């Protein structure tokens, strides 16, 4: 079933990519990551490209600033193909360095500012980065020469900006090929060492065309960058996607609900992509009724279920906001599925349908496709799927088959094409032989008013193997274990109901990519 027939989806064709991959691809597409920006700059150079704490840069001004950074990098000796780490928070300099690197054909390696020195040392060594640009306050985390031998240049963003040349005379674009690596994004590393997913230029451009067509992004859309710019969502789904349509990126250093709502009103923000907890915090803010949020028309979300109560409250307070569930990953350059507009409330248990060029197969343990509606591991193919991990043949061999990436997510696809995600393979609980998908239990907990975050892990049991334990962050509600269990008993099979709970005064622990670290929660439980 084609759910996108009413959308302005560009023409597609099949193309052979790199040996064993044949994909549906968009026939007319930008040539590179930088070309996305360059096209927007040519179309309307005087519109806002970046807004940050009251300062504004048009597309023309952003381009000129980025080329000054490019001139600086060339003068220091960086050349096409060199890897450059970006250890910066949400600030305009992140965008300038990103653009400069893409212009020169450098491979950008954005890293979240939560990353610590050992993780940075591993990343820098694994990809043999030649340079790192970092926020000055993070200087103590930068690995030294003994930890990252190839890391020749260590620059604070503040020092670079003070040394930029007045102009970029004589600097020319590298004009990379589509299959060249544009960025390396290191996966979460919740188990073992992180892997560097290689996002090619054509991976990036296919993802942003998906967002443009299936979110119906418009040239004057203004998006709030309230998630980390270093994450695939911030980098691709917001920054690159808005460049594709010539929109504005409104940069927030950090998400605070009150400040965010004020920014939506002041900057007439129309588009967001956030996790459900951020929407929930907006609803809990006393500032919500004081702001005119009528410009806010698109609200994408992913990474966790959105409770029905939250969807209904948002519809009540912001009636012009269309919520769109999305499912993707670093390895799929952000989007794989998206919920068509108007279907979120009636398909609350689904993450949407496959995007126009995406191909999703549900496979059993033997690598055989299962019938519609049955559960298996999702294998994902398409032009947005990365070609592999940087310098990691073992991971490539186990994670990719004929261009399909093994997602590690257990789910199903029904006859109408709606995709459901039940759990990560490694997070599924087994209580006395009964399989429990943590997402189902977590969604049930999130439906309780006042619950902002919830996570389920298995408590070891010598008799049953595992029992269900819940971690809950609910700063405004009473810590009543029995009330939680009674709520769950009305909605879940008895063996799925959490038997024990931990109430967390602070948000749940997350890794550098923002994912809940269930390994940390399990360790807390067992100490």
Does position 512 have pLDDT exceeding 70, yes or no? no
What count of Cα atoms within 13 Å lies in the side-chain half-sphere of residue 389? 20
The number of residues in the chain equals: 527
Pair 133, 87: CB distance under 8 Å = yes
List 468's β-bridge partners, or say none.
458
The pLDDT assigned to 525 comes to 86
Q: What backbone phi and psi angles, to 5 degrees, belong to 298? A: -125, 125
List 473's β-bridge partners, or say none.
453
What count of Cα atoms within 13 Å lies in the side-chain half-sphere of residue 277? 21
The pLDDT assigned to 427 comes to 84
Write out pLDDT tens, residues 79-108: 999 999 999 999 999 999 999 999 999 999
Query: What element of type H or E holds 87?
Result: strand 83-87
**CA neighbor of 341 nearest in space, from 313, 321, 315:** 321
The pLDDT assigned to 30 comes to 97
Write out pLDDT tens, residues 480-490: 999 999 999 99
Does position 292 have pLDDT exceeding 60, yes or no? yes
Q: Is the dihedral of CA 280, 281, 283, 284 positive or negative?
A: positive
Which residues lie below 8 Å from residue 314, measured CB to CB, with a gap of 6+?
A: 279, 283, 299, 321, 323
pLDDT-derived band at 514 (thresholds 50, 70, 90) equals low
DSSP-assigned letters across all residues of 334-357:
EEEEEPPTT-TGGGTT--EEE-TT
Write out pLDDT tens, residues 203-255: 999 999 999 999 999 999 999 999 999 999 999 999 999 999 999 999 999 99
List 421's β-bridge partners, or say none.
411
What whole-number percentage of the chain has pLDDT above 90?
83
In 112-239, which ranges are E strands? 131-134, 153-156, 181-186, 196-200, 222-225
The pLDDT assigned to 263 comes to 98
Mean pLDDT over 511-521 rounds to 77
Looking at every residue in the chain, the average pLDDT score rounds to 94
Q: What backbone phi and psi angles, to 5 degrees, belong to 102? A: -65, -35
Q: Alpha carbon of 350 to those of 367, 405, 421: distances in Å?
A: 24, 21, 7
Q: Is the dihedral of CA 195, 200, 204, 207 positive or negative?
A: negative
Query: What element of type H or E holds 162?
Result: helix 157-162
Pair 156, 135: CB distance under 8 Å = yes
Which residues lie below 8 Å from residue 231, measured CB to CB, with a gap of 6+?
A: 110, 112, 185, 513, 514
**CA neighbor of 272 nearest in space, from 220, 226, 207:** 226
First to last CA, the chain: 50
Q: Alpha carbon of 90 to those of 52, 147, 254: distances in Å?
A: 9, 27, 7
Query: What element of type H or E holds 473?
Result: strand 465-473
Q: How far apart are CA 46 and CA 158, in angstroms?
A: 26
Q: How far apart are CA 254 and CA 322, in angstroms?
A: 24
């Amino acid at each position: 079933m084609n759910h996108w027939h009413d959308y302005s989806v560009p023409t597609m064709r099949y193309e052979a990519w790199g040996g064993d991959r044949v994909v549906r691809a968009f026939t007319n597409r930008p040539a590179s990551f930088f070309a996305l920006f360059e096209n927007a700059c040519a179309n309307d150079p005087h519109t806002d490209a970046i807004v940050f704490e009251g300062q504004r840069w048009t597309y023309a001004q952003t381009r000129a600033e980025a080329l000054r950074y490019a001139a600086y990098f060339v003068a220091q000796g960086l050349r096409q193909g060199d890897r450059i780490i970006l250890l910066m928070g949400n600030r305009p300099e992140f965008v300038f360095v990103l653009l400069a690197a893409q212009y020169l054909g450098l491979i950008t390696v954005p890293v979240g500012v939560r990353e610590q020195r050992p993780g940075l040392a591993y990343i820098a060594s694994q990809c043999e980065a030649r340079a790192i640009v970092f926020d000055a306050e993070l200087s103590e985390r930068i690995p030294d020469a003994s930890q990252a031998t190839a890391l020749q240049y260590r620059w604070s963003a503040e020092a670079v900006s003070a040394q930029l040349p007045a102009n970029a005379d004589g600097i020319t674009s590298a004009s990379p090929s589509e299959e060249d690596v544009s960025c390396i994004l290191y996966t979460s590393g919740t188990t073992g060492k992180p892997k560097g997913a290689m996002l090619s230029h054509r991976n990036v451009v296919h993802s942003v065309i998906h967002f443009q067509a299936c979110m119906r992004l418009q040239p004057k859309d203004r998006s709030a960058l309230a998630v980390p710019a270093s994450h695939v969502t911030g980098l691709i789904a917001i920054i690159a996607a808005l460049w594709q349509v010539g929109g504005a990126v409104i940069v927030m250093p950090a998400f605070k609900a009150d400040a965010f709502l004020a920014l939506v009103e002041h900057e007439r923000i129309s588009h967001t992509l956030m996790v459900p907890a951020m929407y929930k915090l907006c609803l809990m803010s006393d500032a919500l009724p004081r702001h005119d949020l009528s410009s806010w028309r698109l609200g994408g979300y992913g990474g966790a279920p959105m409770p029905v109560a939250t969807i209904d409250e948002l519809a009540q307070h912001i009636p012009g906001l269309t919520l769109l569930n999305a499912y993707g990953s670093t390895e799929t350059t952000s989007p794989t599925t998206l919920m068509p507009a108007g279907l979120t409330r009636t398909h609350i248990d689904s993450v949407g349908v496959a995007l126009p060029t995406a191909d999703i197969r549900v496979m059993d343990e033997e690598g055989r496709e299962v019938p519609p509606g049955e559960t298996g591991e999702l294998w994902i193919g398409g032009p947005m799927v990365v070609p592999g991990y940087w310098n990691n043949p073992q991971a490539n061999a186990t994670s990719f088959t004929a261009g399909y990436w093994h997602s590690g997510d257990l789910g199903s696809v029904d006859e109408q094409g709606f995709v459901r995600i039940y759990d990560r393979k490694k997070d599924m609980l087994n209580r006395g032989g009964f399989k429990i998908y943590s997402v189902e239990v977590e969604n049930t907990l999130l439906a309780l008013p006042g619950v902002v975050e919830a996570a389920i892990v298995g408590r070891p049991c010598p008799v049953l193997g595992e029992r269900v334990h819940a971690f809950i962050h609910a700063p405004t509600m009473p810590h009543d274990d029995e009330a939680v269990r009674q709520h769950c008993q009305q909605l879940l099979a008895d063996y799925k109901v959490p038997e024990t709970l931990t109430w967390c005064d602070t948000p749940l622990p997350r890794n550098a990519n923002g994912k809940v670290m269930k390994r940390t929660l399990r360790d807390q439980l067992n100490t």
